[in-house]
Amino acid sequence: MIANNIFKAIGDFCTTVLFQPYNSLRSLDNWWVQNTVSWIFISITFIALLYWLGQLKKFQKTGNE
């Protein structure tokens, strides 16, 4: 019973608080504004991936396997 309430609380928090910015973007009629947010997140992920791969390459060059 308590575990069920915890999962319901987590689900409620996610839908009402965390996803609220996305719900407001979804209601916009401007396609460019909606997709700009997606492209920003894709760019950040790509930059982080390149940084991570660079760090792995440095770590491998030092001989720490």
Q: What is the pTM of this model?
A: 0.58
pLDDT, tens digit, for every residue of 2-54? 777 899 999 999 989 988 888 888 888 888 888 888 899 999 999 999 999 99
Distance from C-alpha of 51 to C-alpha of 45, rounded to nearest angstrom: 10
Domain region containing 42: 2-61
Q: Is residue 1 very low, low, confident or very high in pLDDT (cuts 50, 70, 90)?
A: low
Predicted pLDDT of residue 29: 83
Distance from C-alpha of 12 to C-alpha of 6, rounded to nearest angstrom: 10
Torsion-angle region of 63 (φ positive above 0: left; ψ -120 to 50: alpha; else: beta)? left
Q: How many CB atoms neighbour CB 34 within 10 A?
A: 14
Q: How many CB atoms neighbour CB 25 within 10 A?
A: 15
Q: Record the tokens describing residue 18, joined without a space.
A: 């965390």
Domain count, the chain: 1
